[in-house]
Chain A
Amino acid sequence: MLTILFDGIAYGMLLFILALGLAVTMGLMNFINLAHGAFAMVGGYITVLLMQKAGVPFLLCLPLAFLGSALLGGVLERTLYRPLYRKPHLDQVLFSIGLTFMAVAAVDYFVGSTQQILHLPDWLRGRTELGEGAWTLGMGHYRLFIIAVCAALTIVLQAVLTRTRFGARLRASVDDQRVAAGLGINVNVVFLSTFAFGSGLAGLGGALGAEVLGLDPAFPLKYMIYFLIVVAVGGTSSITGPLCAALLLGIADVAGKYYIPKMGAFIVYTLMIVILVWRPQGLFVRQGGKA
């Protein structure tokens, strides 16, 4: 039972880091970016290709995946996304979903459509077991690693958003662009760096997730629904919301598939509907501002 809980937490953490960038762009910047999964896929492919073709060690690939997708995100923000900030949401949705399809086709063309297989270093492969009988806790080392990385990132992010000057500027820019600009905040730079950071997080999530979720060109379409559920349930105005939502969904999904395998695939959706009926704005809503 504890093992199930552990697997659920690891899976939830993975969903969290994958969806976090989306929560940032969607909640903080008020831009519906359905191409988010494409950035995650880019991160995954950077990792796989670097490891396979250049023999770069796995741990070094993770920051590279982050930087690569962040760079791509920055470039695209500057060239394609910025003109769309003031457009209606429908335009943004159509634009970003088009971008997703292009990314899928491009990866298919350049790398091929087969499932990519990651070869982890040996120390990440094992498994530790604690306890006896029904209370056995089996922890895969890789899942432990995911939890550690995600927890560290969450703490850092929360601190950046609430404690630093950049966080304050970002929140100000989001709440009222004109006033923020009047106060001497360079809104464009703030948005550019935020978007790049969000894309980088997606890339990191993709790199971490390639092992557990699998990686092929259909990745962004396959998991888009999960990212959206996390963001919808968690609300988009903070990072605690998506974190709780991701953990809840991860554990519910894993436990549901374990205890009632025949129903398992639907538990996530049921849970989402129940939560959204109960709290249409998501689990946590920041008071004030435009939630």
Chain B
Amino acid sequence: MHKRTVLHAAVAAALLSTAGLAGAQQAPFKIGLILPMTGQQATTGRQIEAAAKLWMAQNGDTVAGRKIELIVKDDTSLPDVTRRLAQELVVNEKVDVLAGMGITPSAMATAPIATQSKTPLVVMAAATSSITEASPFIVRTSFTLPQVSVALADWAPRNGIKNVVTLVTDYGPGLDAEKFFKSRFEFNGGKVPESLRVPLRNPDFAPFLQKVRDLKPDALFVFVPSGAGAAVMKQFGERGMDKAGIKLIATGDVTDDDQLNDMGDVALGVVSSHHYSAAHPSAANKKFVEAFQKANKAMRPNFMAVGGYDGMRVIYEALKKTGGKGGGQALVDAMKGQIFESPRGPVFIDAQTRDIVQNVYLRKVEKKDGQLWNAEFDVIKDVKDPGKSK
């Protein structure tokens, strides 16, 4: 039964590529956006959908004579559902581009479908380094964890932090963050006396934080999924670790713009490194944040939103470049090497890795007009994903 479905898919996909050429000019250009709209990762889906719709509202829904049609599907962040939806979108809806992908396993599950059907897959959220290597049709507009962790590992030793304990959640992105932070930090002359891994379903951070306190490092490096970040910060403060002279440094997931305001004053002063902050001081970003908040009842855009927004731009530009013709390989080729000014700053889609090259900013949580923001104070320019240096 299952084999047959796959076979159907393959046949239909083959038909699609020939049929697509014949009637290309008139048919709408379909983008299949697969996102977690419910469940644990629902905020990711909400942010990206809002950003994609904002892009379409600002830039029109016709590109090079073709009408753009956005089909949003909810995969509830279950990879097998993502895979099934991607298959349906490719076979039944005959989408020209797949996009979205809230978590790494979803992107990995969809990669073979992109390869087989020669459909470009624009990854707007998932951030494990190896994703773009899973298919030659994957283009990423979000970020990678090695990218942001390495930037922090470069910044810390230059600012008097020589001894760091790492604390990550024990799953793909966490291990990426730990590995790349540690190796770069040690390369820069720093010391990592202990690397702690917290189970994904961890009830209480107390033992880990107490361990860190007793080890007395200069700083604690944290990567946890954004929801758990607030709990770590709170307990960090309550344990009096800042008073014991330990700094908290983290990747930007921990001080996610979407939730930062709810975290309250415990977040103040936390130093993080990330590719996007809603407080990024550029005209393009001000415009983006304003329009986003206007369209979405004062919801603040976060790094997920900017990944979705830029993903739409990459698709639009690629379609323009092919003169409205589309076609899988042509679209991917047109996406490679795009350089543009994103709300996060200048970015570049690396032609070799199809991954994004961007500035990584160092930010500190500050209070402005009664709200908390990730205020940028330093930048490391044009960071290429270090996960693909070989």
Instruction: State which residues 232-266 of A face B: CB under 8 Å.
Output: 253-258, 261-262, 264-265
B209-252 CB contact bits vs A (8 Å, 1 = yes)? Answer: 01100000000000000111011001001111000000000000
Q: Are B264 and A117 in contact (CB under 8 A)?
A: yes
A residues within 8 A CB of B234? 117, 211
With A7-B206, A138-B240, A226-B203 in contact, do A114 and B211 touch (Cβ < 8 Å)?
no
Q: Which of A59-67, A176-184, A214-222 contacts B (4 or more CB under 8 A)?
A: A214-222
- In terms of DSSP, what is the predominant structure of the interface of chain B? helix
Give, as a whole number of angstroms, the nearest-CB distance from B372 to chain A. 12
A88-120 CB contact bits vs B (8 Å, 1 = yes)? Answer: 000000000000000000001000111101010
B residues within 8 A CB of A4? 207, 210
Q: Which size bracket describes the interface of A in this complex?
A: 35 or more
B residues within 8 A CB of A127? 238-240
Output the nearest chain A residue to B46 by Cβ-Cβ distance.
Answer: A112
A residues within 8 A CB of B194? 261
A residues within 8 A CB of B258? 114
B residues within 8 A CB of A254? 204, 206-207
Q: Does B38 contact A (CB under 8 A)?
A: yes
Q: Are A257 and B230 in contact (CB under 8 A)?
A: no
Q: Does B42 contact A (CB under 8 A)?
A: yes
How many A-B pairs have beta carbons closer than 8 Å: the answer is 96
Q: Are B239 and A114 in contact (CB under 8 A)?
A: no
Q: Are A112 and B199 in contact (CB under 8 A)?
A: no
Give, as a whole number of angstroms, the nearest-CB distance from B207 to chain A. 4
Q: Are B227 and A114 in contact (CB under 8 A)?
A: yes
A residues within 8 A CB of B53? none
Docked CA distance A230–B210 (Å): 24
B residues within 8 A CB of A222? 201, 203
Q: Are A117 and B263 in contact (CB under 8 A)?
A: yes
Give, as a whole number of angstroms, the nearest-CB distance from A234 to chain B. 18
Q: Are B43 and A113 in contact (CB under 8 A)?
A: yes
Docked CA distance A115–B226 (Å): 9
B248-287 CB contact bits vs A (8 Å, 1 = yes)? Answer: 0000000000110011100000000000000000000000
B residues within 8 A CB of A255? 207
Q: Does A76 contact B (CB under 8 A)?
A: no
Give, as a whole number of angstroms, the nearest-CB distance from A57 to chain B. 16
Output the nearest chain A residue to B225 by Cβ-Cβ distance.
Answer: A115
Q: Are A108 and B203 in contact (CB under 8 A)?
A: no
Q: Which size bracket describes the interface of B in this complex?
A: 20 to 34
Give, as a whole number of angstroms, the nearest-CB distance from A114 to chain B. 6
Q: Does B197 contact A (CB under 8 A)?
A: yes
B residues within 8 A CB of A7? 204, 206-207, 210
Q: Does B208 contact A (CB under 8 A)?
A: yes
A117 contacts which of B196, B197, B199, B262 (Cβ < 8 Å)? B262
Q: Are A140 and B207 in contact (CB under 8 A)?
A: no
Docked CA distance A26–B239 (Å): 37
Q: Are B259 and A117 in contact (CB under 8 A)?
A: yes
With A213-B204, A261-B196, A262-B197 in contact, do A115 and B211 touch (Cβ < 8 Å)?
no
Q: Are A140 and B204 in contact (CB under 8 A)?
A: no
Docked CA distance A89–B264 (Å): 46
Docked CA distance A214–B227 (Å): 9
Output the nearest chain B residue to A268 by Cβ-Cβ distance.
Answer: B203
A residues within 8 A CB of B237? 125
Q: Does A281 contact B (CB under 8 A)?
A: no
Docked CA distance A10–B38 (Å): 34
Q: Does A197 contact B (CB under 8 A)?
A: no
Output the nearest chain B residue to A258 by Cβ-Cβ distance.
Answer: B207
Output the nearest chain A residue to B42 by Cβ-Cβ distance.
Answer: A113
Q: Are A112 and B42 in contact (CB under 8 A)?
A: yes
A residues within 8 A CB of B206? 7, 10-11, 212, 254
A1-36 CB contact bits vs B (8 Å, 1 = yes)? Answer: 001100100110000000000000000000000000
A113-B42, A212-B206, A253-B207 provided; 4 other pairs, C-beta below 8 A?
A7-B206, A114-B42, A117-B263, A216-B227
A-B CB proximity, top 9 nearest:
A115-B227, A257-B207, A258-B207, A7-B206, A113-B42, A265-B199, A254-B207, A117-B262, A127-B240
Report which A residues bind B (CB closer than 8 A).
Answer: 3-4, 7, 10-11, 108, 112-115, 117, 119, 125-127, 129, 138, 140, 142, 211-214, 216-218, 222-223, 226, 253-258, 261-262, 264-265
Q: List 8 A-B contacts (CB under 8 A).
A: A3-B210, A113-B39, A138-B210, A211-B234, A216-B40, A217-B40, A257-B211, A261-B194
